Amino acid sequence: MAASAALPYVIGALKLKLPADGWQAIEPGTRNPTHEIAPHTRTVRLWDGGAYENLGLEPLYKPGGSTVGCDELIVSDASGAFPTIGDNRPKRKSFPRNLFRSRLVQVASYQIRSLRCRQFVDAIKTGAVKGQLIQMGFPVQDLARRSGSDYAPDPEITFVSDENVEKARTYPTDLVQISEEMFEIIANHGSESAEAVYRYYRPDLTRS
């Protein structure tokens, strides 16, 4: 899972060996094993879904259509920000990451994700889809202004600072262990983002 998150376009190149023994057929109704079987292959390749469609929308929503098999669709986009020249994100000295996260790959991935996000939001605005898009990288006050709501900060509530929001937005996804401090910043920012989106865009569902 870690390798897939850090290198989604590369993980499929690795072959994973399967053991010859220990495979069993399963009865669909009871989920109980019925008899031993042999695997069809001794190796497999596991591709990360991000290599095809990073938001995971495809099974539930087709562009230009409506949702499939669900009443409301909540899309969480925690993808990293598009890097700009001179940005201040932490630098990692990693050969695989630098090789496969080339500018070309970054541009293609960012453009596809942006297009899918725009299509989904447009569908929400036209009423074709009921749902919300929750994205990292926007302070609570910005989400309020974007929605057209009057933002009145509560002096008793402390939100993630703009500086820490930027840290969460630009934090790289790789195989380097995250610090506890950074984990808390990202988790708190994600929680605030989700609550703010529903507070300002779907107040009918917000808890009082």
Phi, psi of 192 (to 5 degrees): -65, -40
CB 75 within 8 A of CB 57: yes
CA 115 to chain CA mean position, Å: 15
More confident residue, 180 or 46: 180
% of the chain beyond a pLDDT of 70: 75
**CB pairs under 8 A, 24+ apart, for 175-182?**
175/2, 175/3, 175/6, 175/94, 175/97, 176/92, 176/94
* Extents of the domains making up the chain: 2-44, 53-205
| Per-residue b or e along 52-67, where b marks 16 or more CB atoms closer than 10 Å to that residue's CB | eebbebeeebeeeeeb
pLDDT tens per residue, range 37-90: 998 899 988 877 767 777 888 888 887 777 888 888 888 888 766 555 445 444
**Highest-pLDDT range among 75-84, 87-96, 97-106, 135-144:** 135-144
Res 107 pLDDT > 50:
yes
Mean pLDDT of 6-20: 79
Give one word for 48, left, alpha or beta, with left for phi > 0 and alpha for psi -120 to 50: beta
Write out the E strands in 41-172: 43-44, 73-77, 131-135
pLDDT at residue 95, as a whole number:
44
pLDDT at residue 155, as a whole number:
66
Res 105 pLDDT > 50:
yes
Give the CA distances from residue 134 to residues 57, 68, 195, in Å, rounded to whole numbers and listed in that order.
13, 20, 9
